[in-house]
Structure 1
Amino acid sequence: MRKMGLDLGTKTIGVAISDELGWTAQGIETVTRNKDIEKDLERLDYLIKEHNVSEIVLGYPKNMNGTVGERGQASEQFAELLKSRFQLPVHLWDERLTTVAAEKMLLDADVSRKKRKKVIDKLAAVIILQSYLDSRPIKRDLSGFYRPFE
């Protein structure tokens, strides 16, 4: 089962999906937010079903001193909405500086400002999800493969 990473913004939602083993994250889409949140949820529902998602990792923007501000509270509310709507585990994951890291990666790759704007939220979702995946312990199963603990 795959994990879905989300970078929630006021105008867009960056979306990333893990591979089946839960080792790598790939950006798949930037959802343009609607005034009607139901349309946002319908799109996420489609992506969850299409990619057979079992868990959601939602970026949790904390202040640099660790406190939770307005954007963090919005993520908490969105996490509760996702849990009730999709009946999946939702993990809030500290996303401090992920957008900055994504911007730096795109600048280092010499991506134009116009193209950066289109992919930055998707790349931030990849960084959030990959960070979550990398934090999980690895076990060796009977087939000799290593995989994260479920």
Structure 2
Amino acid sequence: MSDNKRPLLDAKSILCFDYGTKSIGVAIGQSITQTANPLIDLKAQDGIPSWEEIKKILDEWRPDLLLIGLPLNMDGSESELSTRAKKFANRLHGRFGLPIAMADERLSSFAAKGEIIQQTGSRDFKKNNVDSLAAKIILESWFTEHGQ
């Protein structure tokens, strides 16, 4: 795993995952435009996704880098979910051999819910794919932090 700027400079297409135990949001972004779009909320059972679904997404989008949101506590310390997100990242790398990076995801779900309320007036977050929108926010924040 890498936290330096080199993977972003080399990567053209980046797939971002907002890891959760019930749902994993996925977004795709481009380093040239430094923009991202939400793709899908994948169902997970106790944090374990359908690896076949992930393989289909990887085959379709062919990303150069996988970015996984790291759920930290508000004080910056790691939580049990941080450990699980790192394990998920390691499994992604082990199964698919793509470069991995981690990104601070604090407040991304909160921001995604706010964006949904603002755009739709709805608080039906299950219907509005909050996790893939959070993945988009994580990725665009990462672009801002690691931009050229």
Q: How would you bin the TM-score normalised by the shorter chain? A: 0.7 to 0.9
Secondary structure of 1:79's counterpart equals helix
**Contact 1:2-1:22 within 8 A present in 2 as well:** no
Specify the code of the residue in structure 1 equivalent to 2:81. Answer: R
Deviation, structure 1 residue 106: 1.2
Specify the code of the residue in structure 2 equivalent to 1:18. Answer: G
Secondary structure of 1:96's counterpart equals coil
2:59 counterpart of 1:49: yes
The one of 62, 67, 77 equivalent to 1:67 is 77
Specify the code of the residue in structure 2 equivalent to 1:14. Answer: G
Secondary structure of 1:65's counterpart equals coil
The aligned runs of 1:71-90 (5 Å cut-off) are 71-90=81-100
**Contact 2:25-2:133 within 8 A present in 1 as well:** yes
Give the ranges of 4+ consecutive aligned residues of structure 1 lying more than 3 Å apart after TM superposition. 34-37
Deviation, structure 1 residue 45: 1.2
Larger radius of gyration: 1
Measured in 1, the distance between the counterparts of 2:79 and 2:46 equals 22
Give the corresponding residue for 1:120: 130
Secondary structure of 1:33's counterpart equals strand
Closer/same/farther in 2, CA of residues 36 and 99 from structure 1, 3 Å limit: closer
Closer/same/farther in 2, CA of residues 4 and 30 from structure 1, 3 Å limit: same
- TM (norm. structure 1) is 0.83
Give the corresponding residue for 1:135: 145
Measured in 2, the distance between the counterparts of 1:126 and 1:94 equals 13
Measured in 1, the distance between the counterparts of 2:47 and 2:85 equals 17
Measured in 2, the distance between the counterparts of 1:22 and 1:87 equals 25
Give the corresponding residue for 1:92: 102
Give the corresponding residue for 1:144: none
Measured in 1, the distance between the counterparts of 2:102 and 2:110 equals 19
What's the Cα RMSD here? Answer: 1.8
2:55 counterpart of 1:30: no
The one of 107, 112, 128 equivalent to 1:102 is 112
2:22 counterpart of 1:6: no
Unmatched runs of 5 consecutive residues or more in structure 1? 139-150
Measured in 2, the distance between the counterparts of 1:53 and 1:72 equals 23
Could you tell me the percent identity over the aligned residues? 33
**Contact 2:21-2:46 within 8 A present in 1 as well:** no
